[in-house]
Structure 1
Amino acid sequence: MSRKIGSRYTAHRILGRGSAGTVWLGVGPQGSPVAVKLLREDLASDQELVGRFVQERAALLCLDHPRIVKVRDLVVDGNDLALVMDLVRGTDLRTRLERERRLAPQAAVAIAVDVADALAAAHAAGIVHRDVKPENVLLDAHGPTGPGGAPPALLTDFGIAKLIDAPSRGGGGRSGGRVIGTPDYVAPEIVEGLPPRASVDVYALATVLYELLAGFTPFGGGHPGAVLRRHVTERVAPLPGIPDELWRLLNQCLAKAPASRLRASEMAARLREVLPSLAGLPPLDIDEPEPEPEAYGERDAHGTDHGTDLPYEDGPYGTPGRGAVPLVHGGPAPDSTRDTHTSMRVPGADELAGGAHGTARAPRAHGSPRAGSARHRAAERRRRVRLGVTATALAAALGIGGWLVLGDDGEGGGGGPAAPSSSTEDEAPEAP
């Protein structure tokens, strides 16, 4: 099934669906392959959004960097509102994570360097991405591999969050007292209702890098409201086995105060300095912390599939999992079931009071039991038994020692030879 997109492009088949719209594999005027992101009809009918779309056109078209998926054109035609982008032959970072769970430190840092470079270029042009996450990082299967065997990484979906998050919808990351974004990667200042600056992208990228190393995000798990609260109130827990220099850098970029974080260009430079020291290190051998059941009031969040709002074809990393939809011959691919984009109320002041006052659930070294699990309880019982046996043996030893001392004095002393004391050994013999 083909359809015309404006007068210059033809979309042939669906690559994926997401919360913002549908991505098509298409061709341009010279027959070159392109990815066409066709936004939802309700967005296309919003005249204020269309006006802002046109205003953003020049900035997005001028955003030209090797680590940014190039926007070729913005199309406004009747009910069609579309971004035409370069087609990246590969897969997205979420797909690779779904298969491998975590990456070796050097490969993870190499990917983060590419994304940091992309953000530095965008920030220099005055553009904040606002939705950095693995789904929006594409891995070029046809590019030269870098340190740790990492393929070139490209950042996509610039402008989408800003276009959809209209002033009439709240602006500045909020909508009528609501947080709009992907909970696991939302910076604390967004949760507190402040406008998004470049530092929110650095925080999100640091969260992605933590996820690449650990296999899970530092504040994720449970209800989206609990996730948002953790971003504001909890400090990130260190990862067992992570090199010290890398941890210090990561921790700084996850600082609660935006001014304490590195700039994207600084983050890229520091990560490049760390890269050589990570050669040959295997993926971290850790387990995800035990989930904590948390209530957050009325469940007023609505998760929507952000799916694969991405210009890619199926890549070399196996069958894509949640958050990634491959090119499927003969029809559209099914939607992802991963809830990655959420709109929910801004937490109240009482819920966020006091800033960071705790530490997030600490990851466990691989093989150590979860607290409260049957294995953990059994280990505790064994530990208590060992302590009891040790205490009994110590008490018995003390009792025998007392009996021997009495025997030395010759009082009550039948039963066994007296042990010599150190004092008698050290004394000189008496003169005859």
Structure 2
Amino acid sequence: MARNIGSHYTTHRVLGRGSAGTVWLGEGPSGPVAVKVLREDLAADPDLAERFAHERHTLLGLEHPNIVGVHDLVIGGPDARDIALVMDLVRGPDLRSHLERERRLRPHAAVAIVAEVAGGLAVAHAAGIVHRDVKPENILLDTTTPRTRALLTDFGVAKLIDEPRHGGKGGVVGTPDYMAPEIVEGLPPRAAVDIYALITVLYELLAGFTPFGGGHPGAVLRRQVTETAAELPGIPRDLWELMQQCLAKAPASRLRAVELASRLRELLPALEELPPLDLGDPAPADGAGRADGAAEAAVDATDPAAAPGTPARAAVPLVRGAAPDSERATHTRMRVPDADELAGGAHGTARVIRPVGQPRAGSARHGAAARRRRRLAVTAAGLLGAGALGGWLLFSGGEDDGADGLGPAGPGVEQPDDSGAP
């Protein structure tokens, strides 16, 4: 059903939904547009409307071939409670949909997409704008050009929604799989958080899963702080070293966006002939894990990747086992883990790349534990068998009335005296 947004725009149908609002196909004075209408609960906040109005110039000022341009900001509407961003209409899927269809991209295609997005980030960072929510859902692919073009959308929206009232001291907002360690530790987000998130996206495009994803979001956040990403076999060493640098826990160690874009473009010629990586699904590291095999089996049973032939969902659900979120509202607000929680280490969370053909780890998380359990089961069965045999001998001896001179207690055992004498 058509709906008027402000006095110049009309929306016709839903193109997609996200954590912040709904994107509509719309019509404006200059033709088709995309209109992102914020959720009603957000739009009803007068402080948020004021922040959007204050940042109007910034939102409308970013121009780059790899950034979705914002044409207008509408505050108010028929019920005076709309906040809507009128944007370029990009005809093509978002990167999440494309990745789910392909599961893994060829290294050349993956690096080309990320290099383009890094170019857009370089312009934004130079203008003092941090995106804060770089992920496949916020990267659109324009398929109308001879060569597919990647565009980053939703610049500044996460910051405006989060601050100052909605984030607050001690809160952290973002998508756990792509969240830089310094955000988890409660530090203010700078440009380096976008670099960390973008290289996490590159890792996901190559591998089919994020380096630290899996399980409850609290576990994902802890991995972001305590663990090192598993190396991806089959990519050039130069590319892996660049990815390692941009996934560094220390923000100052990461490349700037302009440097990243340049370095990635330099690597493109060497990647042209490489096929998609031939990897198995991520498996727990040997020696790490819970003894609760039943719980682990329950987790695996809820994983879409557990079904043969089903592409793995790369961005994990916020709570493992919940029904997949068709609207992909992965952007969430949570408490910053305290120092003791972060110091808990990575026990039970480490994941390594499982080569194709290698069996998945069993419910005991690794083969050694499974073998130990089998030995214990055999030992227990032996003890039970011995006990049963002893019981049989005990009672069968009593039926002989001591005819063999041994008595019911067996040889070498003093018989009780019923006389009551000491």
CA shift in 2, pair 1:271/1:46, >3 Å: same
CA deviations 1:320-348 (Å, max 9, x no partner) are x999xxxxxxxxxx971545222221111
Give the equivalent residue in structure 2 for 1:142: 144
CA deviations 1:282-310 (Å, max 9, x no partner) are 01111122258779xxxxxxxxxxxxxxx
1:113 to 99, 112, 115: 115
TM-score by length of 2: 0.75
**2:158 is the counterpart of 1:161:** yes
Give the equivalent residue in structure 2 for 1:275: 268
Give the drift of 1:237. Answer: 1.1
Give the equivalent residue in structure 2 for 1:84: 86
Question: For 2:25, what is the secondary structure of its paired residue?
Answer: strand
CA shift in 2, pair 1:223/1:213, >3 Å: same
Alignment of 1:351-370 (within 5 A): 351-353=341-343, 360-370=350-360
Give the equivalent residue in structure 2 for 1:20: 20
Give the equivalent residue in structure 2 for 1:195: 188
CA shift in 2, pair 1:338/1:74, >3 Å: closer
Give the equivalent residue in structure 1 for 2:61: 62
Kindly indicate whether the alpha-carbon contact (under 8 Å) linking 2:178 and 2:201 is maintained by their aligned counterparts in 1: yes
CA deviations 1:250-307 (Å, max 9, x no partner) are 0000000000000011111111111100111001111122258779xxxxxxxxxxxx
CA shift in 2, pair 1:130/1:375, >3 Å: closer
Alignment of 1:9-408 (within 5 A): 9-30=9-30, 32-77=31-76, 78-145=80-147, 151-170=148-167, 175-290=168-283, 336=326, 338=328, 340-353=330-343, 360-372=350-362
Kindly indicate whether the alpha-carbon contact (under 8 Å) linking 1:236 and 1:359 is maintained by their aligned counterparts in 2: no
Q: Which runs of 5+ in 1 are unaligned?
A: 146-150, 296-320, 324-333, 382-432
2: CA distance, partners of 1:290 / 1:94: 23
Kindly indicate whether the alpha-carbon contact (under 8 Å) linking 2:11 and 2:27 is maintained by their aligned counterparts in 1: yes
Q: Which runs of 5+ in 2 are unaligned?
A: 292-312, 316-323, 372-422
Aligned-partner residue type, residue 237 of structure 2: D
Give the drift of 1:161. Answer: 0.2
Question: For 1:14, what is the secondary structure of its paired residue?
Answer: strand
Give the drift of 1:355. Answer: 8.5
2: CA distance, partners of 1:260 / 1:103: 27
Aligned-partner residue type, residue 269 of structure 2: P
1: CA distance, partners of 2:83 / 2:140: 23
Give the drift of 1:65. Answer: 0.4
Kindly indicate whether the alpha-carbon contact (under 8 Å) linking 1:286 and 1:366 is maintained by their aligned counterparts in 2: yes
Question: For 1:11, what is the secondary structure of its paired residue?
Answer: strand
Aligned-partner residue type, residue 118 of structure 1: G
Question: For 2:92, what is the secondary structure of its paired residue?
Answer: strand
Higher RCO, Cα 8 Å, sep 6+: 1
Give the drift of 1:166. Answer: 2.1
2: CA distance, partners of 1:270 / 1:100: 25
CA shift in 2, pair 1:353/1:164, >3 Å: same
1: CA distance, partners of 2:283 / 2:14: 39
CA shift in 2, pair 1:7/1:377, >3 Å: same
Kindly indicate whether the alpha-carbon contact (under 8 Å) linking 2:289 and 2:365 is maintained by their aligned counterparts in 1: no
Aligned-partner residue type, residue 341 of structure 2: E
Aligned-partner residue type, residue 56 of structure 2: R
Give the drift of 1:374. Answer: 10
Would you say how many aligned residue pairs link Structure 1 and Structure 2? 336
Give the equivalent residue in structure 2 for 1:6: 6
2: CA distance, partners of 1:130 / 1:48: 20
CA shift in 2, pair 1:294/1:27, >3 Å: farther
CA shift in 2, pair 1:231/1:338, >3 Å: same
1: CA distance, partners of 2:230 / 2:5: 48
2: CA distance, partners of 1:368 / 1:335: 31
Question: For 1:206, what is the secondary structure of its paired residue?
Answer: helix
1: CA distance, partners of 2:360 / 2:366: 6
Give the drift of 1:57. Answer: 0.7
2: CA distance, partners of 1:357 / 1:247: 25
2: CA distance, partners of 1:335 / 1:354: 30
Question: For 1:35, what is the secondary structure of its paired residue?
Answer: strand
CA deviations 1:16-45 (Å, max 9, x no partner) are 222211111101113x00000011122112
Give the drift of 1:46. Answer: 1.0
1: CA distance, partners of 2:170 / 2:247: 24
Give the drift of 1:155. Answer: 0.3
Percent of matched pairs sharing the same residue? 72
Report the aligned-residue RMSD. Answer: 2.8
Kindly indicate whether the alpha-carbon contact (under 8 Å) linking 2:290 and 2:365 is maintained by their aligned counterparts in 1: no
